[in-house]
Structure 1
Amino acid sequence: AGRVVMETIDAGDILEDGETFGGQSRLSYSSNGNTAQGSLTLAGRSGGFEILGYAKRSTGDNFEDGDGIEVTGSGANLTAGLLKFAYEGDQGDRIELSLQEVQDNEIRNFQPNFGASSRGFAPYYTKRRIASLRYESGNETGLWDPSATLGFSEINVDRPSDPFGDSTATSSNTYSLTLQNDFHLSDSNTITAGVDYQERESSVNATWTNGKTGEESKNIGIFAQARLEPTDRLSVSAGLRYDWQDFTGQDFAQSGTAFTGSASGASGNLSLVYDLTDSLSLRAGYSNVFGGYDLEDNFLFYQAWDYSNLQSSRARNIVVGADWQRGNWTLGGELFKTNIDNVREVSRAGAVGGNDFESKGFNIAATYGWDSGFARFTMNNSDVSFNGGPAESFYLVDSGTPIGKVLAFEVQQEIPTMNLLVGGSVEAALSNDNGVSETYTQKQPGYGVLNLFAEYSPPSLNGLTIRAGIDNVFDKTYADRATYGTEYTSSTITA
């Protein structure tokens, strides 16, 4: 019922109180694929000014699956960097500039998300850039606590040549601006209100599209979100927003025409948490959200899309759960259901139309903790449907993945006398038949994977940690349930 916010570390996360300069470094090596990684973080501050720099390099060969078969196109060749500047005044006002870049340049399968195929391989040069400029007042009391965030992100994927002599360059850009104010009614009651703007562009320039084509959307919204505690046992979050969006579909160089559309709509959300006792709390939430028009995958712009049935999407989400904590035990569970109307369809004919997507299921978790460790169990069950029936993941690529039932068990134990931390985890999934009976689909087999690790911190070298781990101890051959397309047969992939 809102947005996902990612915040990278700053100098205060690296430096201890009173320190003006410091850093962290990390080196690692993985025997599967001979992958070596190294990273360095440095931070400094003085007189309200802060600076932080981070760099990472990863190189390696193709890794092997549990049967010892090389997974083509899986080699590592990644370079990443982060640079942040900040100034914080005596009254708490803070301005921060963040710059990120990630590059991945390697030979990949012709269709990287499809595995090996008869089409062979191609170089893929991928670059992601993110820039963010943020101001916040630092005033955590009263009715005036403004903040502003200006953001930009760019993802470029270049395939300069492939087995057929074609070349492809794609670009996906997002520009955003958010202006908001927090109205502090009291220490525990706040209303946040503001306006935001987002502009997205998605384009491809390739020999197989006869020129450059793409899509774009522009969206402006106003919003207000209240977070209140009417009583000591009740917490309430409620919000409203309204969006206006303009959308332009791809413009084929051949025809010179483009689809344009406008949509607007209201969104609302309400969630409650009630502490029934000191140990047991109940929670529930509901939202009805305007989705607008989604941009399509750049690599699909070669198809002759039919926009006649394209409509603005809308989602309805509901969740009901409970949490219990007493002594060393923490238990929790929830039921959830999401419906999205007018999902943009990805079909083999390239059509665009109104479709309905649904995901429903439950999550449960149990943790037992003690002074020097813990044990945790989780289970997630998710069933998805498309237009009221089961669907292969090809049709769900813009909406979700048929995950099914996934379980995990994790244990960690500190051994202070030996300066050791040891632990392990089991990641498992039950077999899954999503009901699709096409000849090129198959039942997803279950799997169970054991991972072990140990960390040693030498007392004579403060700040140093040595970690050794074994992933997939018993060499299981599997694909994580969140992997796209695992229900297809091998003949489908290699055709």
Structure 2
Amino acid sequence: MTSRTTRNLLMTCTAIVALSAVQSRAQEPAAAEATVLETIVVKGKRVAVPAGGVADTPLASQTTAEEIEANQITSLDDLGRSLEPGVSFNRNTRSVNIRGLEQNRVVTTIDGIPIPYLQDGAREADGGADSFSFSSLSTIDIVRGADSSRAGSGALGGAVVLRTLEPEDLIGEGRDWGGVAKSTYDSEDRSFGGSAAVAKRIENTSVLFQGGYRRGHERDNQGEVGGYSTTRSEPNPADFNEYNLLFKLRQYTDSGHVFGFTGERFERDEDIDNRTGQSLTSTYRPGNLDGSEDIRRDRLSLDYRFDAVGDDAWIDRANAVFYWQNVLRENGAEGSRATSPAGAYSRNNTFEERSIGFAGNAETSFVTGDLSHQMTGGLNIAFSKASQYSGGNDTCPGGPYPTNPRLPFYSCNFLHTNQSDMPDVDGKTLGVFIEDKIGLRDGPFFLTPGLRYDWYDYDPTATVAYTSGANYTGMPAGQSEGQFSPKLRASYEPDPGVELYAQWAMGFRAPDVSELYLNYGAPGTYLTVGNPNLEPETSNGFEIGANLGDDDFGGHLGAFYNRYRNFIDSESRVDPTGTYPMGITEYFNRNKVRIYGLELSGHKRFNNGMRVYGALSLADGEDLDSGESIRSVPPLKVVLGTGYATETWGADLVFTAAKGVENDADANTIDAPGYGIFDLTGWWEPEQTQGLTIRAGIYNIFDKTYYDAVNLATITTPQPDAYYSEPGRTFKVSLTQRF
């Protein structure tokens, strides 16, 4: 099915569902309302988590589908702005940032399946962790801190744990079907989107179909200078299309077992008019350079869930998923060179990871003497293949590179295309964990020791695209290593509304295949190379905190201190042999890095419909050997809000502020001044139309020019500062119909 056919199908389905919703409401009694999507994490109660159990920890906070809708969240940017001030999304690296760590140091899972962060290392085909649609989600759990005991390799900063819609999320009590349809317009990128989800139960079998489509343009900023080249401060014109499809089949049994099948696809394609790279005198003249950014993720999975229906069961609950997944990231360019070597030019850089795996966990409770035990164990196994390739075209004397003689046409040395910059890599990973929450039978004190073992094996395999490259000198060696990650948590839980805890946990991250095996460049130019001798990163994390209260009045307090060893980074140096006169860039292990910080949040709901809430996130990071600050660590950020709600309408006013960041040591980077912005949102449920909710919001009400420090951390390009600014005043409107 082509993308155009899929988009037309999605738009048709959305319209049919919306019309069906209005008609069904006219025919049904008013009392037959769809239930609100369930909240999975409830303080003091058992927590239902996806296979793997990553989010079953007091260090996790949850955003439900109801909160996603109420705050009009359509991106990870929106999530960090409105609900999770300690979470950011770096649009340059296309990665989630938690407590100052991002890219492959934050784990993302969807229904227990890891979504890999693809790091090209040379051609900017990076990303993948954002390859999902918020319209398909039921909950988002943010797990903070370096704890590999549940999440496994990569959870140095934390984890983003996603759960997609289940049929029971849509089917109300006493009914055998249900659904929701939604449409949204966002002036920030002039995007319009629609989504629809329908679920049907037939005896003990349920099915769900969900689809969404969104179309828009470049993200706005506060730049006012158009034109071309390095003086342009307006964003480059762009058009994007995004769609997702989700299908689920569930077979329930009277004995507590649930068997299922899931199919999912997400795709986003963006075309860019790269005017910042064009000028009247440069290599690319106006109208002669376009770019593209694409991401696609497909998965098929067999799902299993068990909840004991009696007290005599050996296992209280279990989750498992057996999956196939393919994640593809593309970065491309197409144009025509006006200077030597003049003529047609194109690039299509791809990085792909295909995997098949299993993830599962089980929990049992028992008593030994005066001690109670809640023991959880889990297993993760995956087999993967990572592939990188750059296809393209150049006009070069002697024919397309690399078949033409490089001498004396030195300019052609730079045209590295139709090749792979690393071998294909077959990967095998294994993770096993066990932990036990031990307490006095009726006491409030608990001690939870845990231990995880991770093992990985990378086997580079030769391909013609890699061995025919200009810089090929031989196949690199594989790497295989294992790591134990223990943890210990103590907690005091005198009642369901109070939990005080202290935790020590070790974290672990295996090197990425690009960090090990990248080989990009050519003699006479430059070299960017991996390091097959890299050591895995490790961390020691200490945290104390408290979770207090309930939905009406409560909050969280947490302080953390993390030390990292063998932190993987890259540096450039001069080649003493002169083979690469433009220098060599190579990965290496930093010795010691530390990040510490504080997080606060609280909320209070009053009987008259008023509520107040707020959150604060503060962190500081430093390389202890060099004294350099870790620029990916965000500054102090505060979110304060107040709202009022009745049964049919409500409104919220939110103030978001961040401290400024200066980096006087590097003149090529951009400082981020401090800022404070206001957002106003509101909703209305017309009594005349059962199940319809209209939401609207005005963001950055006073049209303030401000910058996100996380997005500036890696910026070294010559555009004016305003080019990297955040959007000014924008608005968003959405209509949701439940039935």
Bin for the TM-score computed over the shorter chain: 0.7 to 0.9
- Equivalent position of 1:386 in the other structure: 623
Q: What's the TM-score, normalizing by structure 2?
A: 0.60
Q: Who is 1:360 aligned against?
A: 596
Q: 1:440 to 1:409 in 2, by over 3 A?
A: same
Which residue in 1 is equivalent to 2:503? 285
Please list the CA deviations of residues 358-377 of structure 1 after superposition, one character each: whole Å capped at 9, or x if unmatched: 22111112322213232111
Could you tell me which runs of 5 or more consecutive residues in structure 2 were left unpaired when the two chains were aligned. Answer: 1-146, 152-158, 225-232, 279-283, 336-344, 392-415, 521-526, 573-583, 724-739
Give me the whole-angstrom Cα distance separating, in 1, the residues matched to 2:375 and 2:323: 23
Task: Show the 5 A alignment for 1:212-361.
Answer: 212=420, 213=422, 214-230=424-440, 231-248=442-459, 252-253=466-467, 254-275=472-493, 281-296=499-514, 302=520, 304-307=528-531, 309-325=533-549, 329-348=553-572, 349-355=584-590, 356-361=592-597
Shift of 1:79: 1.0
1:406 aligns with 2:624: no
SS in 2 for 1:232: coil
Q: Which moved more, 1:231-240 or 1:35-44?
A: 231-240
2:658 counterpart (421, 424, 429) = 429
The question of whether the paired residues in 2 share the 8 Å contact of 1:443 and 1:487 is answered with no
Identity of aligned residues (%): 18
Deviation at 1:160, TM superposition (A): 5.3
Three-state SS of the structure 1 residue aligned to 2:587 is coil
Residue 273 of structure 1 aligns to a residue in which SS?
A: strand
When residues 188 and 88 of structure 1 are mapped into structure 2, their CA distance, relative to the original with a 3 A threshold, is farther
**Aligned counterpart for 2:322 among listed residues 127, 150, 159:** 150
CA distance in 1, matches of 2:376, 2:496: 29
Could you tell me which residue of structure 1 aligns to residue 362 of structure 2?
181
Per-residue deviation, residues 106-149 of structure 1 (Å, max 9, x unmatched): 21477xxxx95558541233211233322133326532355432
Q: Contact (CA 8 Å) 1:143, 1:182: kept in 2 or not?
A: no
How far apart, in 2, do the equivalents of 1:279 and 1:296 lie?
46
Q: Which residue, out of 113, 128, 132, partners 2:297?
A: 128
- The 3 A distance-change label for structure 1 pair 299 and 44 is farther
Q: 2:689 aligns with which of 431, 447, 461?
A: 461
Distance 1:10 1:249 in 2: 39
Correspondence 1:96 to 2:260: yes
Partner of 1:137: 306
CA pair 202-447 structure 1, distance change in 2 beyond 3 A: farther
Q: Choose which of 705, 715, 718 in structure 2 pairs with 1:477.
A: 705
**Helix, strand or coil: the match of 1:237?**
strand
Match of 1:49 in 2: 205
Partner SS, residue 353 of structure 1: strand
User: Does the CA contact (< 8 Å) of 2:357 and 2:383 recur in 1?
Assistant: yes
Of 123-132 and 64-73, more deviation after overlay is shown by 64-73
Q: Deviations over 1:179-213 (max 9, x none)?
A: 44322216974212243212343321114355233
Change (3 A) 1:365 1:160: closer
1:444-455 map, 5 Å: 444-455=672-683
Which residue matches 2:171? 15
Query: Equivalents in 1 of 2:355, 2:664: separation in Å?
Result: 36
Measure how far apart 1:162 and its partner are.
2.8
* Inter-CA distance 481–74: structure 2 relative to 1 (3 Å threshold): farther
Provide structure 1 residue ranges, at least 5 long, that are not aligned to the other structure. Answer: none
Cα distance in 2 between the residues matched to 1:183 and 1:412: 42
Runs of 4+ residues deviating >6 angstroms:
276-279, 297-300
In structure 2, C-alpha distance between the alignment counterparts of 1:296 and 1:58, rounded to whole Å: 32
**Matched positions, count:** 481
Pair 280,40 (structure 1): closer, same or farther in 2 beyond 3 Å:
closer
**Residues 387, 294 of structure 1: alpha-carbon distance in 2 compared, 3 angstrom cutoff:** farther
Q: Distance in 2 between matches of 1:36 and 1:28?
A: 6
Which amino acid is 2:605 matched to? G
Q: 1:327 to 1:95 in 2, by over 3 A?
A: closer
Task: Give the drift of 1:331.
Answer: 4.3
Counterpart CA distance in 2 for 1:160 and 1:43 is: 39
Between structures 1 and 2, the one with greater helix share: 2
Distance 1:211 1:406 in 2: 44
Is 1:79 aligned with 2:239?
Answer: no
Provide the rounded CA distance (Å) in 2 between the counterparts of 1:8 and 1:97: 13
Higher-strand-fraction structure: 1
> How large is the RMSD of aligned CA atoms in angstroms?
3.2
Amino acid at match of 1:351: E
Following the alignment from structure 1 to structure 2, what is the Cα–Cα distance between the partners of residues 323 and 189?
A: 22
Higher relative contact order (CA 8 A, sep 6+): 2
Contact conserved, 1:143 with 1:185, CA < 8 A, in 2? no
Deviation of residue 282 (structure 1)?
2.5
Distance in 1 between the 2:298 and 2:219 partners?
Answer: 27
Select the residue among 347, 359, 362 that pairs with 1:166. 347
CA contact (8 A) 1:264 1:292 kept: no
- CA distance in 2 between counterparts of 1:104 and 1:299 reads 28
Matched letter for residue 294 of structure 1: D
In structure 2, C-alpha distance between the alignment counterparts of 1:85 and 1:301, rounded to whole Å:
44
| Partners of 1:154 and 1:326 in 2: CA distance | 40
In structure 1, distance between residues paired with 2:219 and 2:430: 45
Distance 1:12 1:281, change over 3 A: closer
Equivalent position amino acid for 1:310 in 2: L
Measure how far apart 1:241 and its partner are.
1.7
Match of 1:375 in 2: 612
The one-letter code of the counterpart of 1:60 is: G
Contact 1:33 1:75 in 2 (8 A): no
Deviation at 1:266, TM superposition (A): 1.0
Q: Give yes or no for contact 1:233–1:276 (8 Å, CA) kept in 2.
A: yes
Cα distance change, pair 223–441 in 1 and its aligned pair in 2 (3 A): same
Aligned partners of 1:280 and 1:6: how far apart in 2? 26
Q: Normalising to structure 1: TM-score of the pair? A: 0.87
Q: Distance in 2 between matches of 1:285 and 1:176?
A: 30
Residues 469 and 463 (structure 1), Cα distance of their counterparts in 2 relative to 1, 3 Å cut: same
Partner amino acid, structure 2, of 1:410: G
2:53 aligned residue:
none
Instruction: State how far apart, in whole Å, the 1-side matches of 2:516 and 2:276 are.
Output: 21
**Other structure's SS at 1:196 match:** strand
Give distance in 2, aligned partners of 1:225 and 1:236.
10
Q: Tell me how far apart the structure 2 counterparts of residues 135 and 192 of structure 1 sit (CA, whole Å).
A: 17
Give the AA of the match of 2:321. T
Is contact 1:373-1:413 (8 Å) kept? yes
